[in-house]
Chains A and B, each alone.
Chain A
Amino acid sequence: MRESPVWAVVALPFALALLVYAAAALDAVLAGGGFRDPLYEGVRLLVQQRRRTLAPDRLLTRIGVVALPLAAVLGAVVVPLGGRAVADLTVGVVWFNAMEVVVWGAVWLAGWGANSAYGLVGGYRFVAQGLAYELPHMFALITAALGAGSLRVDEIAHAQGGLWFAVWMPVAFAVYLLSAVAMAFWGPLGHPAGNDLAGGAAVELTGPDRLVFLAGRYLLLVVAAAMAVPLFLGGDGGPLLPGWLWTLLKTGAVLAVLVWSRQWLPALRMDRFMTAAWTVLIPATLLQMLVVGIVVLD
């Protein structure tokens, strides 16, 4: 691990908070509301009483609710969002992957713990979704690492001096974006928290619990978008502007696309998507990896 300057530690929470608010506000505006809606909604949930269901497992529900933003923040420490990563691990990519898998547990617990049939089904759905997106997602991550010959996020970013990985690994980039919305169970891959289940895994969350859970989901979306920048979009590289600003701008652009995807597509159900993920996406990412491997060996 390399030592990071103190300002990277200070900058990260600010950058995350800013982007989370921007994502929530953009979603509200796209849905016909105003850009101050997340603020109103946040206060509303803060002052709302909690309600209880019959025979819940409150401890596990709380653990699930809190684990969601926690996993996102822990994943964010390897992302150079404020210019430099807070902890530039030698295996940053694997760490990010591991933290994102913690979300499986978080969502499942939150859905299961309320003892509600809808929440339970929502929890199931997320595990099924995880099994569908995880392998293509891993292959996409490894492809970027292979291109740079390193698992360190910083080195991957700086291996793209000439050409962004997004340009010559388009399949891996597309799969990464898809899995970014999948890990945040957002928009087209938001079936675990779908409207057909009246909110799915989050159906019984009230008050501060719901606030933390929803904020955690936006946080995941932000971290996933921020990770796309060093992996595929050349990190902080760019003309004229300072590096940190480029990082922020690129992250914002990816984030906007992810948030907007909710307007673009209906929810993809896993009983259909699973087949496509395993028979199309996995071979496609493997082929992409083969191509990248050959180029790198050359």
Chain B
Amino acid sequence: MARKLLLAHIDVPGIHTFDVYRQKGGYRAVEKALKSMSPDDVVEEVKKSGLRGRGGAGFPTGMKWGFLAKPEGVPRYLVCNGDESEPGTFKDRFLMTYIPHLLIEGMIVSSYALGAHTSYIYIRGEMMPQIRIVEKAIAEAKAAGFLGKNILGTGYDLEIHVQPGGGAYICGEETALLESLEGERGNPRIKPPFPAVAGLYGCPTVVNNVESIAATVPIVNDGGEEYAKIGIERSTGTKLISAGGNLVRPGVYEIEMGLSMEEFIYSEEYCGGIANGRRLKAVVAGGSSVPILPTHLALKTAKGEPRLMTYESLADGGFVTGTAMGSGGFIAFDEDQCIVRNTLNFTRFYHHESCGQCSPCREGTGWMEKVLHKIEYGYGDMSDIDLLWDIQKNIDGNTICPLGDAAAWPVASAIRHFREEFEWHILQPEEAQTRNFGLVSEGVMNPE
């Protein structure tokens, strides 16, 4: 069995309450950090752990903390990003629902490390039940002396507040999140200045994903080096993978970095294979933004090596034959799914969620949606495929925030790996209305 650092006690009845969580060793990291470590010691352990941001970008958390400016007399903030909205991703909702105190414990340890005395947990507004759960956990921790003034008699003060979002994918982008937290529209800011220098209210700020903050608890408890022993290369520790789509057992799994994708999909310990006895057609490994891969490239790299669930292995082959870890939002497509329809769906999503600041994203996502709609409903021309390619290329890298890139990559990878399916939709529009293309290797093109 794989080691579990975050979800070890997830099945314990009542683990969402302070008392049970505490009985299972909860809040030891707070005691250890506040009583026997300096803030810099905590930062050092997180650096040693090799923890990389679990929200999607994979930036080393310790390094991000190291960038935090510390001018005299200016407050510093920790903001937790619980705006989980990336299609395919539902690990943070799971964590906040079932083991909220792990997040609160991580928030205390991380806030201490950064010298923050007021911290915010930004949770997407639709997760009202989770907002209630986390608020209750904060109240319980406060009643037990782990929050508020002079925590555990150490002289350290901390308040944590929950902030609801309003239904906007873009607020998962850290500067848009800060705008939203300031009561503004969620328009991403131009960087630099980075939040580490000028973030919330213009003060130095660190924004970390829910899972990243939770991971600081085992890191403080066991030490960064122990954490780094799990995994391969620069992919250390465990990762929550939220698996959805056509799987026998979709759900949230904690894996050790380095597990093979094949084992993850097919083994009984994890997803148990493809549902309804169907065959696997494609995989989106890290949330809708990362390139979609056909089965052969999902299970093995272009070099023929097993594809592993690590940042490096998933990215092997770049965007030509590889993909990315992203947020760990794993989506499996069975042979009955239509790639054109799914690409249209994702593109409609990005068009809907574009904040509208940058014209390549605002206009481009809409154009792509229209062209894909045309192809899906049987009115496409062969030149539309090149047009789509052209539009996505003109979005990628040309916007303030990565939403533009996130909209471009699914389209680029769908065309790259499933071009035949797009062509079939265009050449056989009537047939495409009545059945799906099936697996690439078996797709029947016009026999003439």
Whether chain B is bound by chain A comes out as no
